[in-house]
Amino acid sequence: MDIFGYTATAVAAYLLGSIPTGFLVAKAKGIDIRSVGSGNIGATNVFRALGTPAGVFVLVIDGLKGYAACEWLPGFILSHLTGQSPDRELLKIIGGVSAILGHNYTCWLRFKGGKGIATSAGVLAALVPWALIIILSVWIVIFVSTRYVSLASLAASFSLPFATWLTHGSLTLILVTSALAALAIYKHRANIERLLKGTESRVGQKKEAAP
């Protein structure tokens, strides 16, 4: 039955996405990333807590998790199935979504993970590459203008379904990217609250010395 291929893809992609890269990199340096900065295990907090090299490494690996789960894993699953013919696009969607859920709700850290932006970017590179180019442009413009990583990520997430509609037109992909955008915005709810209060940190902003 095709259900085996879909289930195998979902489980393998979730486990791949659940690898807590930021946590492991920080742990190797004797730091619990969950207890510093924003407490998030994603690349942005790693940048702030551990510096640029560690942040870039986490960003790249988290992105590759999403790309591998969406692009390479379905091909591997299909090549090892006998007498089954699951839909490749559906396998890619299942793999991509499962990897993002794995990153956001990793089973290795009591289902508390990152916000999924880098992993989502890797998934989108495999699933809707032209839409990714558009939302990356949005991200860059907002970030350069404001120096807020969170605001840039929120703007990019909000524009994702429209970018998918413009470049790919598939109703299925529009619905999937709408769900991914909604999840990303939900994961940024604490950032939204800080943005509204004016207490969100900007990149390059120096913290005021305590009186």
On whether both 117 and 15 belong to a single domain, the answer is yes
Single residue among 127, 146, 166 that ends a domain in this structure? 127
Same domain, 121 and 135: no
What was the pLDDT predicted at 211? 38
Q: Is the pLDDT of residue 140 over 80?
A: yes
Same domain, 114 and 21: yes
Residue 211 lies in a domain: no
Mean per-residue pLDDT for 193-211? 76
Sorted by sequence, the CB contacts under 8 Å of residue 121 that are 6+ apart come out as: 63, 66, 132, 136
Buried b (16+ CB within 10 A) or exposed e, 37-49: ebebbbbbbbbbb
For the stretch 36-57, pLDDT in tens is: 988 999 999 999 999 999 999 9
Give the end of a domain, one of 94, 127, 160: 127
Count of the separate structural domains present in the chain: 2
Q: Which domain holds residue 78?
A: 1-127
Q: Is position 210 within any domain?
A: no
Cβ–Cβ under 8 Å, residues 153 and 184: yes
Q: Is the pLDDT of residue 206 over 70?
A: no
Where a domain ends, among 78, 95, 127?
A: 127
pLDDT at 87: 85
What is the C-alpha separation between 155 and 135, in angstroms, rounded?
Answer: 8
**Segment 66-85 mean pLDDT:** 84
Q: Could you give the CA distance from residue 209 to residue 211 in angstroms, rounded to a whole number?
A: 6
Q: How far apart are the first and last CA of the chain?
A: 67
What's the whole-model pTM score?
Answer: 0.92
